[in-house]
């Protein structure tokens, strides 16, 4: 399973990239607003692309298919790493089906059902993003849906990759990997939590203490 970083915060992306475990980045309008990108949206995206050198999702804001396609074509010129995030809806599917014939990669977002994922994959989306945390929030099993989508796309040999999105904690990453998700897109805080374990921290402290005694420096 690959990991994408789910943020528009360039400082976080810079830190995460250093670890060598991040293959891409996903943004959305809420994350962009939170990161406080002032003015030049295009430059910020290009900076992220130059840091990550992997797929970077940028969401369209248009509502109708024709405008989505125009917006996607314009964003796709910003960097070869950019892919276009388009929400599941009739206009979105229409846009995806056109963009896929132009080799513009689409991350179909806001997916909350197997039917939506299937439609996105059939329309030609490169990624389908299944929102785990938001489904959990309304009392449905978000990760069970990820597992169903993985199984369905695999069964019908549809090439779309499944992104487990709306990840809230490290256990979501564990279950996403077990469900066979191709990618989990995770907030920086979850990446940090994945690294740390109290027994590792205690183990390092113990080894340091013991090494001082072994070398007579204690
Ligand atoms: C990523 O593609 C999604 O936009 C993101 O994971 C949504 O996360 P949230 O449900 O925590 O806002």
The residue contributing the CA closest to ligand 1 atom 12 is 166
| Global pTM value | 0.95
Spatial neighbors of 124 by CB under 8 A, at least 6 apart, are 96, 97, 99, 100, 101, 106
pLDDT for 217 beyond 70 = no
Report the top-level CATH class of 2-215.
Answer: alpha beta
Could you confirm whether 217 is annotated as catalytic?
no
Catalytic residue among 34, 42, 85, 212: 85
Mean pLDDT of 127-134: 98
pLDDT for 215 beyond 90 = no
Q: Which atom of ligand 1 is nearest to the CA of 30?
A: 12
Confidence class for position 73, pLDDT limits 50, 70, 90: very high
Question: CA 152: distance to chain centroid?
Answer: 20
State phi, psi for 26 to the nearest 5 degrees: -120, 135
Give the number of other Cβ atoms within 10 Å of residue 30's Cβ. Answer: 10
The residue contributing the CA closest to ligand 1 atom 1 is 165
For a substitution probing ligand 1, which of 107, 166, 190 has the most ligand atoms within 8 Å of its CB? 166
The finding on whether 107 has its CB within 6 A of some atom of ligand 1 is no
Long-range contacts, 15-23 (Cβ 8 Å, 24+): 15/188, 16/188, 16/191, 17/51, 17/52, 19/191, 19/195, 21/191, 22/52, 22/54, 22/191, 23/52, 23/54, 23/55, 23/183
Mean pLDDT of 55-64: 96
Domain spans of the chain, in order of start: 2-215
Q: How far is the CA of 7 from the centre of ligand 1 (A)?
A: 9
Q: What is the pLDDT of residue 20?
A: 97
**Segment 188-201, tens digit of pLDDT:** 999 999 999 999 99
CB 23 within 8 A of CB 191: no
The residue contributing the CA closest to ligand 1 atom 4 is 28
């Amino acid at each position: 399973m690959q990991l994408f970083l789910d943020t528009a915060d360039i400082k976080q992306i810079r830190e995460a990239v250093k670890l060598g475990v991040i293959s891409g980045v996903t943004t959305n309008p809420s994350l962009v607003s939170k990161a406080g990108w002032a003015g030049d949206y295009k430059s910020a995206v290009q900076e992220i692309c130059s840091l990550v050198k992997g797929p970077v999702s940028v969401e369209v804001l248009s509502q109708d298919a024709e405008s989505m396609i125009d917006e996607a074509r314009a964003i796709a010129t910003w960097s070869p790493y950019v892919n276009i995030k388009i929400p599941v809806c009739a206009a979105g599917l229409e846009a995806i089906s056109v963009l896929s014939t132009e080799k513009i990669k689409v991350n179909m977002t806001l997916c909350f059902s197997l039917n939506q994922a299937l439609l996105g994959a059939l329309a030609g989306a490169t990624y389908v993003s299944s929102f785990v945390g938001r489904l959990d929030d309304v009392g449905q099993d978000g990760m069970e849906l990820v597992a169903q989508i993985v199984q369905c796309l695999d069964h019908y040999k549809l090439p779309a990759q499944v992104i487990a999105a709306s990840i809230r904690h490290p256990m979501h990453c564990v279950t996403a990997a077990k469900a066979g998700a191709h990618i989990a897109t995770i907030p920086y805080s979850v990446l940090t939590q994945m690294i740390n374990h109290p027994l590792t921290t205690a183990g390092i402290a113990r080894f340091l203490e013991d090494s001082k005694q072994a070398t007579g420096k204690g």
